[in-house]
Amino acid sequence: MKHITLIKGGFSNCYLIKEEDTLILVDVGSSNEVKEIMKRLSDSSDNKRRQPIVIISTHFHIDHIAGISYLLCNFPDAEVAFYKKVKDFLTRKEKLSIPSIMSWFGNLPPVYLRQERHIPSLIEIKKDDRVGIPLPLLRRKVSLKYEVNHWLEDGDTIPHAGDWRVISTPGHTPDSACLWCEKDNALISGDTIINMAGKGELNLFCCDYLKEKESFSKLKSFFNVKNLYPGHGNPIEYKDDLLSEVKIRK
Ligand SMILES: [Zn+2]
Ligand SMILES: [Zn+2]
């Protein structure tokens, strides 16, 4: 859709959404993506209008959050929003969940090998935040260099963008959430639904596949998705009954 732009350059997809009075940046996963965002905004008048900027992520994984503090260096007034479950990690009430070893070796490599950026340069990595790493020795690294301005509940609207709602979809991780815009029938699906094969599939690299299936059933029964913006793989746009073709392992 015209106002939702896919920004590449990281390990995951980042989306720039231009709403009437707000810019929303979803899943800013690397400093490289931040550079791309800056380029896009300096080419347009959006940056000069000084509308609020909201940075939001579909879940607390490094490939979806590593660019946030670098982005804040460029937009210090931007507001950061997370789904409330992330707070449990930051307060160390809960450890970051780790997908099974089988999942790491079997289900992750096919996704990453499809990304454009396999080995980022050292300079780039220096600017990236090293938090949200689902590995045994690194899962406790959760300290953020910035403040979280908004903690959102399931069903809450995104601050300054009343058309977009946060929908809790645990499974890939307990804090996974999708972003839904009813007026555009658009779903930003994070790592819950990815798209490696063209029609979308439930992510097999996950902490709890059963929960992910439940979350998917909820999405399917409540929302008429015609535009899908996955965390990995290409968006699917203007397609009726899109979720009925998403591949699910029985
Ligand atoms: Zn993830
Ligand atoms: Zn991801």
**114 Cα: distance to centroid of ligand 2 (angstroms):** 12
Ligand (nearest to CA of 12) = 2
- At residue 18, the pLDDT reads 94
- At residue 142, the pLDDT reads 85
**207 Cα: distance to centroid of ligand 2 (angstroms):** 13
- At residue 135, the pLDDT reads 84
Least confident residue range of 105-114, 135-144, 153-162, 193-202: 105-114
**209 Cα: distance to centroid of ligand 1 (angstroms):** 13
- At residue 167, the pLDDT reads 98
Domains of the chain: 4-245 (3.60.15.10)
- At residue 223, the pLDDT reads 97
- At residue 161, the pLDDT reads 96
> Distance (Å, rounded) from C-alpha 223 to C-alpha 218?
8
pTM of the model: 0.93
- At residue 120, the pLDDT reads 59
Ligand (nearest to CA of 230) = 2
**64 Cα: distance to centroid of ligand 2 (angstroms):** 6
> Distance (Å, rounded) from C-alpha 186 to C-alpha 183?
8
Can you list the positions of beta strands (E) in 27-170?
53-56, 79-83, 150-152, 157-158, 161-168
- At residue 126, the pLDDT reads 81
Q: In Å, how far are 60, 82, 99 from 135, measured between CA atoms?
A: 13, 21, 9
**224 Cα: distance to centroid of ligand 1 (angstroms):** 24
> Distance (Å, rounded) from C-alpha 129 to C-alpha 44?
28
Ligand (nearest to CA of 59) = 1
Q: List pLDDT tens digits, range 217-244.
A: 999 999 999 999 999 999 999 999 999 9
Instruction: With a cut of 80, say whether residue 113 has pLDDT above it.
Output: no
